Amino acid sequence: MELTGNLILGNRCTRGGGNGFYADEPSQDCPLAPEFFAADAANVDLACQLAEQAFDAYRALPLSTRADFLTRIGENIVALGDSLIIRAVQETGLPRGRIEGERARTVGQLAMFAAVVRRGGGEFLQAIVEEALPERKPLPRPDLRQCHIPLGPVAVFGASNFPLAFSVAGGDSASALAAGCPIVVKAHPSHPGTSELVGRAIQQAAQQLALPEGVFSLLHGGGHEVGERLVTHPLIPGRGIYRRARGLALLALALRRTVPVPFYAEMSSINPQILLPTALANRSTELAARFVDSLTLSVGQFCTSPGLVLALKGKALTQFCQHLTATLAKAPAATMLSRGIWQAWRDKAAGLAAVDGVSLLAQGQPVQSANQGQASVLYTDGAHFLAEPRLSEEVFGPTSLVVGFDDDAQLQQAIRALEGQLTLTLHLDEADHPLAQTLLPTLERRAGRLLVNGFPTGVDVGYAMVHGGPFPATSDARSASFRRMPAPCRARRLMPFGIGKVKRCKNPTIRDILDIIEGVGAKRPMP
């Protein structure tokens, strides 16, 4: 499939009215054809109008049609074959195996959302029916019904570090489409070609199923203007964004809107690793090796990369640092996702290393070509860590900080001072359980996901998985698991005047729940 550099506006493909830009091939440090053109204000407005016009028709379709749409998108992505894999490798510098795995994950996510939608109402629609109490004194209660309905068109922002799984057809897009919300996607400028290919797969799926035009649009933009226009557009009441500092800036724009809107942004996390004393003494070599593997995975460009290690000073921590130094010295430098990300990592890592009381502990092998990241681990003590807020800031890339504490009290003080995180990990043995129990109440309030004796750089796609956390890890931690799917929905309560017999039903549809004709047909999900 030949790339065009065009926007996708409903059923049409057209050149954007804004400035042109190129994707870069980070491993070669050179631009990639074709030229892409940013959406201008008129393009953004048209995409939002098409989404609004499609909304009522799309949400009224049977749930099975939504499920078919998600399934067909996955099939079309697979049908792109090598053209998608090759372009994604070129635009990101990621190895082919990683991209192939991410494609499988993306298709799997779409299939999981489709399966939940296909099962129907009770679970998916969060349907509740309270039977009428006509004899209640002093006042009778009418029949009450509630279920989730789609919020409206949703804006989705592609991620820099996951060109497929958290991008045009990623989790946010699947969630919104499953809930009955049309989407307007802002492609990440680091991989616009990959985004166009996936966008055309979605457009093709919509056309194959004769869905309303406007259920999907794709916008390009090399700067911030397109995203800012989407966040402030009055026809887009829902937003989902994935990745980093711009999330906070766009959240500020969303909060200044006249009408508040839900805004889901993942922004910053250092994913602390807490090495409790017995585990550290018994497994220092193993922990050091596994930590290096986690830190250097995808050149540290996972949002769950372990950016902080907390432990008590002593012989065990000294041994851990020695093993870490020897292991990291063997880690080769590797190409980062883009020149911009490489520059941001280089500057943040240098700034962290320059903080008073911080020293270089270990380094990976030197770089061999442009835009490569050389892994590094720094060290400081508990007093400096507690006194310097900059030491708790994320460095997105292959850099981490080890902190040695004088005693349990100083360690617990540092844990209480942590900001919200995506993940927190306790490494412990049986003798560490009493200390872990004292830490747990604080840890539960600091992270969306707690791990024990693991490392956080694997995020499974499943019903119980949480990929979110307290601010500033995310802007809203209440619905960041697989069940975020119903998040772009609001509750609706109906009180019909005619009250008929309420039936029990394991899987009511939205029509079952909201049917108020003569009060007949109301159903209630099984508890």
What is the pairing mode between strands 30-37 and 20-25? antiparallel
Residue 498 has pLDDT above 80, yes or no: no
Percent of all residues in the chain with a pLDDT value above 70, rounded to a whole number: 88
Catalytic residue list contains 303: yes
Reported as a single tens digit per residue, the pLDDT across 111-162 is 999 998 988 755 677 777 888 999 999 999 998 887 778 889 999 999 999 9
Q: Give the model's confidence band at 466: pLDDT under 50 very low, under 70 low, under 90 confident, else very high.
A: confident
Predicted confidence at residue 515, as pLDDT, reads 46
**Which of the given ranges, 29-33, 257-261, 518-522, has the highest pLDDT on average?**
29-33
Task: From the candidates 48, 266, 321, 505, give the one annotated as an active-site residue.
Answer: 266
Q: Per-residue b/e over 193-211, b at no fewer than 16 CB within 10 Å?
A: bbbbbbbbbbbebbeeeeb
CB-CB contact of 185 with 15 (8 Å): no
Predicted confidence at residue 478, as pLDDT, reads 73
CB-CB contact of 405 with 384 (8 Å): no
Burial label, 518 (beta-carbon count in 10 A; 0-12, 13-18, 19+): exposed
Q: In whole angstroms, what is the distance from residue 236 CA to residue 232 CA? A: 8
Q: Per-residue b/e over 34-49, b at no fewer than 16 CB within 10 Å?
A: bebbbbbeebbebbbb
What's the angle, vertex CA 369, arms to CA 363 and CA 371, rounded to 5?
75
Predicted confidence at residue 245, as pLDDT, reads 46
Query: What average pLDDT does the segment 380-393 reach?
Result: 97
Select 8-266's CATH number: 3.30.530.80, 3.40.109.40, 3.40.50.1470, 3.40.605.10.
3.40.605.10
CB-CB contact of 309 with 400 (8 Å): yes
Residue 509 has pLDDT above 80, yes or no: no
Answer whether 0.85 is exceeded by the pTM: yes
- Which residues 6+ apart lie within 8 Å of 216 measured at CB? 8, 10, 177, 182, 183, 185, 199, 202, 203, 206
Q: In whole angstroms, what is the distance from residue 133 CA to residue 139 CA? A: 9
Reported as a single tens digit per residue, the pLDDT across 10-49 is 999 999 999 999 999 999 999 999 999 999 999 999 999 9
- Full 3-state SS string of 84-109: HHHHHHHHHCCCHHHHHHHHHHHHHH
Reported as a single tens digit per residue, the pLDDT across 372-385 is 999 999 999 999 99
Predicted confidence at residue 64, as pLDDT, reads 93
Architecture of domain 272-452: 3-Layer(aba) Sandwich (3.40)
SS3 state at 340:
helix
Reported as a single tens digit per residue, the pLDDT across 48-81 is 999 999 999 999 999 999 999 999 999 999 999 9
SS3 state at 427:
strand
Beta bridge partners of 157: 186, 241
Q: In whole angstroms, what is the distance from residue 450 CA to residue 331 CA? A: 28
Q: Give the model's confidence band at 253: pLDDT under 50 very low, under 70 low, under 90 confident, else very high.
A: confident
Residue 506 has pLDDT above 50, yes or no: no
Catalytic residue list contains 266: yes
Mean pLDDT of all residues in the chain? Answer: 88
Beta bridge partners of 525: none
Domain range annotation of the chain: 8-266, 272-452
Least confident span in 193-197, 257-261, 500-504: 500-504
Task: From the candidates 48, 147, 181, 303, give the one annotated as an active-site residue.
Answer: 303
Reported as a single tens digit per residue, the pLDDT across 162-198 is 999 999 999 989 999 998 999 999 999 999 999 999 9
Query: What average pLDDT does the segment 450-458 reach?
Result: 91
Please tell me if the domain spanning 8-266 has the same topology as the one spanning 272-452: no
Q: In whole angstroms, what is the distance from residue 493 CA to residue 489 CA? A: 13
